[in-house]
Amino acid sequence: MTEANNLLALLQRPLEPTFLPKNDGKTVIDVPDDFLTDRYRPIGAELQSRFSGDAEQRIPVRTSAPPDLSFAASIDRRGGFSLFVEKHREAAAALITLFIAQPDIPTLMSVATYSRDRLNPVLFQYALAVAIQHRPDTKNVNIPSIVSLFPDQFVDPAVFPKLREEGSVVQQASRMVIDIPPNYTASDREEEQRLAYFREDIGVNMHHWHWHLVYPGDGPDAVVRKDRRGELFYYMHSQLIARYNNERFCNRLARVRALSNLREPIPEAYFPKMIRSSNARSYPGRHANIALQDVNRVDNSTIVQVNDLERWRDRILEAIDQGFVLDTNGTRIPLDETRGIDILGDILESSSLTPNRRLYGSLHNMGHNVIAYIHDPDYRYLEDYGVMGDVTTAMRDPIFYRWHGMIDQVFRRFKDQLTPYTSSQLSFPGVTVSSVGVQLTRANTPPNTLLSYWQRSQVDLASGLDFGPEGNVFASFTHLQHAPFMFRVQVNNDTGAVRKGTLRIWLAPKVDERGTPLSFKEQRLYFIEMDTSTVTLNPGGNTIVRRSDQSSVTIPYERTFRAVGTSSTPTNANALAQFRFCGCGWPQHMLIPKGATGDGVQFDIFAMVSDYTIDAVNQTQDPNAPCDDAHSFCGLRDKLYPDTRAMGYPFDRSTEATVETLQDFVSPNANMGTGTIRVRFSNTVIART
């Protein structure tokens, strides 16, 4: 692993030349003289001796034939890189293929070292991270948190001069923590700012980046073609929309209005207040009431018309109504209840797995581009893309949720045409859920009441401050948090034998922003997954307790914001295992909705135990395997998705017209149970201990 971990030094300080020290000045990469760029080759010997004197570790790099990097020549090293731009995506796929094709780690280190100072840093970081995660000899290497490498994509740039001053003037032991102010993108005169804590949460945006890192849309087939990838694209983004709507109801805002009419002006404005560190240019803002326009970007060959989006959408909807899509040979591929949603996910995104990109286009990706370039669609003002053009920043913008609301409507069109689940598909004979509720882990707290509040946490940004200070430089940020709690489910097993089941716990709002009760037809769209786990049911009564930090959706703070550098890497084997692939997952601090002050907000909690013999996937399971704990959104590494049921089951399909309330849905099925819980929000800030 030592050789493999050497690759991590290439990820630090992405804009600095590779020969500069890494790991707080303790590590130096011995760059061969002929690997230096034209600017530094004439003074290579002086540079190597000047910057390597105090190094505790030297990483040798073998000399090899320089790789052909012409596929990335059109991407400016100091410009932006976007996975939504086709040229950029193709370059990333080629670079991933190059890195994965290297026969061993020393050769990979050589090729990556040569490439690093010649390529766009975000392109390089993305491709190397994907390659590390998918090569068998490097897949256990920890990929550092992107916020520590590219803080400009997550953090108010006003703090960077303060961080550099603190790091340059003050010794490490005496450095102050620099505070990132909350709600810095707009005033409270803008009602959408009530949701800034969700949209601009660092952990939420890092989750979106890491998911796309684990599930790249282009690249070698072995990297892209993962089990149920298209379905997971649908489900993860659908859950994002559901969670966002839950937060909107808590803040007395109406549900997301899907961006169905692509011709009407967009009333939502967004000014991100962010600066791209690679070229010190700001992410452009978007004024209110601007309409989408045809894009003709000569800088990166992104050419797409609004009419293209409408035509692709209509063709996909027509295919859904017909029950099949056409591949490039004109062969019909049925959209059945087993694989239909997976195929649609590949088409809508569209990934390299799409069966016919020429016919169905690239609706999701090009939609991001049309919105991202709304301020300068023909490159007249030499402006780069807005936040919607980058997976690390897209979720900050309110329009992200409107655009994905439209994408979700297309998926729902397919789901709503499926036959409602039958009694046999929902039931588990002999198993009864008698109650479900929650309980804070603190003593003497009332049942079924959860508490949320603000928390101030810290993140080390030193590894992303190019040409900045050595040592740690911390910034503090304020985010939503909830008090730890437990799910408690009472289950009776009357079969007379030990049975295994799958416990599924969901949460949904009872009322909308006006306090009007939601019908089940409406409420079904807003259920958010809390936890899915395998349980053993002994004959008779069973009390199942699941801690909130055991959720199959989330990862803990320590893995969301893991630091970079030798001093931060755990030495304990178990801790190190948790440090590896496990950055993919919804942040634990955002597991439950914010609720409200006073009496709080009431939610329906739903629990269901389904038959494990039907749910089980035939594969070897390791209950102690690292990073298997956020499988609901991220799947299992190098394995099949661990549930044969459709993602979102049992709420992914419509029901009979006679089902008007949640109780109507639950009553015929003894293996389901519901309860009412309340989330109270305390407008106080508590520092993380």
Cβ atoms within 10 Å, residue 35 = 24
Question: What CA–CA distance (Å, rounded) separates 311 from 317?
Answer: 10
What one-character-per-residue DSSP string does 98-147 give? HHHH-SSHHHHHHHHHHHHTTS-HHHHHHHHHHHHHHSTTTTTSPPPPHH
Catalytic residue among 349, 383, 470, 656: 349
Q: What is the 3-state secondary structure (H, E, C) of 225-237?
A: CCCCHHHHHHHHH
Assess contact for 7 and 109: CB atoms under 8 A.
Answer: yes
Assess contact for 214 and 133: CB atoms under 8 A.
Answer: yes
Q: Provide φ and ψ at 408, rounded to 5°.
A: -65, -35
For the chain, what is the total number of helices (H) and then of strands (E)?
23, 20
Element (H, E) at 606: strand 601-611
Assess contact for 612 and 500: CB atoms under 8 A.
Answer: yes
Element (H, E) at 502: strand 499-509
Element (H, E) at 96: helix 86-101
For 6, residues 6+ apart whose C-beta sits below 8 A from its C-beta are: 59, 105, 109
Assess contact for 558 and 457: CB atoms under 8 A.
Answer: no
Write the DSSP symbol of residue 566: G
For β-strands 431-440 and 672-687, DSSP reports them as unpaired
Selection from 122, 65, 113 nearest residue 91 by Cα: 122
Structure tokens of 465?
């401050």
Known catalytic residue at 349: yes
Selection from 386, 590, 565 nearest residue 480 by Cα: 590
Catalytic residues: 349
